[in-house]
């Protein structure tokens, strides 16, 4: 019995030693890993750079902006109640988009939603009201900058209203992008270091940010001042220097985290006055071209378009409010 007990005791001692050695090895590795991560972790710092002075939603692409004090910032853009940014689109009978570039007076059309009804208003036109949900209507295959996307036709009354307002012999249709429909990824994003998120009817990015100071800088070079509404941003920032937004790679606003992807290349649409619907094809585009060109290494992205404002992906969704502090995320 003594021999057997000695054998058992030796086994237990050896087993405990093995467990202790193994545990020490695990703890040693965990300690090494922790120190490595601590050493290599990039600490994040939030630096105050401005304040949100305006939130603008453009429900109808090229239509009049709706100023709100609070909005949900979703992956495909801003939303307030039943209004969603660039979720309605004017198209030709064959589904090709119509914007203020072709029809400048579209900038005077207001689209609003209340109680499940859409309302269209425009100069010298009677208000038109129709349901947001119209599941019996056809789904249209649309083209936005050559990329396919769907939209639910809003009906013949909306078509007649738009056709009468724009005063063309060609018929126009209004379509609405519904939640179950897939978004669109702009072709231009393939040239970028990171992909833009899917959008609906927006040109490229889901959120465009612009500072008041940048608009004031431009206005100081013009004979007639311009307003931020002409450039159709979603988030307007005050309290910073002109073009500071160009260097904010990542920003925190309220509970929302935004990642800059690309500058906003400007076109002839900037020459449409948002208050009159008149296109000059000259200013402020000519002045922007004189001092807001891209670097030579970025010509393959922007070509000759001047840069004004920044397009962002939404890294973290949440709520935005006028008065929110804007922080640059520094690492």
Return the pLDDT at 134. Answer: 86
Domain of 107? 46-330
For residue 66, being part of any structural domain is answered with yes
Q: Does residue 8 form part of some domain? A: no
- pLDDT value at position 196? 84
Q: Is the peptide bond before 284 cis (omega within 30 degrees of 0)?
A: yes
In a domain? residue 35: no
Q: How many domains does the chain have?
A: 1
**Average pLDDT of the chain to the nearest whole number:** 89
134 in any annotated domain = yes
pLDDT per residue, tens digit, the chain (331 aa), is 444 454 445 444 555 444 444 444 444 544 554 454 454 456 899 999 999 999 999 999 999 999 999 999 999 999 999 999 999 999 999 999 999 999 999 999 999 999 999 999 999 999 999 999 988 999 999 999 999 999 999 999 999 999 999 988 889 999 999 999 999 987 654 667 677 889 999 999 999 999 999 999 999 999 999 999 999 999 999 999 999 999 999 999 999 999 999 999 999 999 999 999 999 999 999 999 999 999 999 999 999 999 999 999 999 999 999 999 999 999 8
pLDDT number for residue 186: 79
For the entire predicted model, the pTM comes to 0.87
Q: Measured between alpha carbons, how far is 232 from 235 in angstroms, rounded to an integer? A: 9
**pLDDT, position 35:** 54
pLDDT at res. 168: 80
Output phi, psi for 69, to 5 deg. -95, -15
Structural domain contains residue 92: yes
DSSP structure string for 10-61: HHHHHHHHHHHHHHHHHHHHHHHHHHHHHHH----EEEEEEEEEEEEE-SBT
* Helix, strand or coil, per DSSP, at residue 312: strand
pLDDT confidence of residue 1? 44
What is the pairing mode between strands 139-144 and 147-153?
antiparallel
CB 122 within 8 A of CB 133: no
Contacts of 246 (CB under 8 A, 6+ apart): 263, 307, 310
Can you give the CATH number for the domain in which 280 is found?
Answer: 2.40.33.20
Residue 228 lies in a domain: yes
Q: What is the pLDDT of residue 188?
A: 56
Whether 159 is covered by a domain: the verdict is: yes
Asked, for residue 19, whether it belongs to a domain, the answer is no
| Per-residue model confidence (pLDDT) at position 67 | 98
């Amino acid at each position: 019995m003594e021999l057997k007990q000695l054998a058992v005791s030796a086994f237990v001692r050896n087993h405990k030693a093995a467990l202790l050695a193994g545990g020490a090895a695990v703890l040693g590795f965990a300690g090494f890993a922790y120190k490595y991560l601590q050493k290599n972790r990039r600490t994040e710092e939030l630096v105050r750079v401005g304040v949100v002075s305006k939130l603008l939603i453009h429900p109808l692409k090229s239509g009049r902006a709706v100023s709100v004090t609070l909005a949900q910032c979703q992956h495909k853009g801003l939303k307030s109640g039943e209004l969603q940014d660039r979720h309605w689109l004017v198209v030709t009978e064959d589904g090709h988009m119509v914007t203020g570039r072709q029809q400048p007076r579209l900038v005077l059309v207001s689209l609003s939603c209340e109680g499940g009804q859409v309302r269209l208003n425009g100069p010298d036109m009677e208000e038109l009201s129709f349901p947001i949900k119209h599941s019996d209507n056809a789904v249209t295959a649309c083209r936005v900058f050559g990329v396919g996307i769907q939209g639910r036709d809003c009906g013949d009354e909306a078509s007649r209203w738009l056709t009468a307002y724009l005063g063309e012999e060609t018929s126009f249709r209004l379509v609405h992008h519904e939640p179950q429909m897939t978004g669109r990824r702009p072709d231009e994003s393939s040239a970028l270091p990171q992909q833009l998120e899917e959008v609906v009817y927006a040109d490229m990015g889901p959120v465009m940010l612009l500072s008041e100071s940048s608009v004031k800088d431009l206005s100081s070079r013009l004979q007639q001042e311009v307003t931020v509404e002409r450039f159709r941003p979603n988030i307007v920032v005050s309290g910073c220097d002109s073009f500071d937004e160009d260097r904010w790679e990542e920003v925190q606003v309220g509970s929302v985290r935004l990642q800059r992807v690309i500058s906003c290349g400007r076109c002839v649409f900037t020459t449409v006055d948002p208050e009159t619907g008149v296109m000059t094809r000259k200013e402020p585009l000519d002045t922007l071209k004189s001092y807001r060109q891209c670097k030579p290494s970025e010509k393959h992205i922007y070509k000759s378009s001047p840069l004004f404002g920044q397009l962002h992906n939404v890294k973290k969704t949440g709520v935005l409010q006028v008065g929110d502090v804007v922080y640059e995320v520094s690492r």
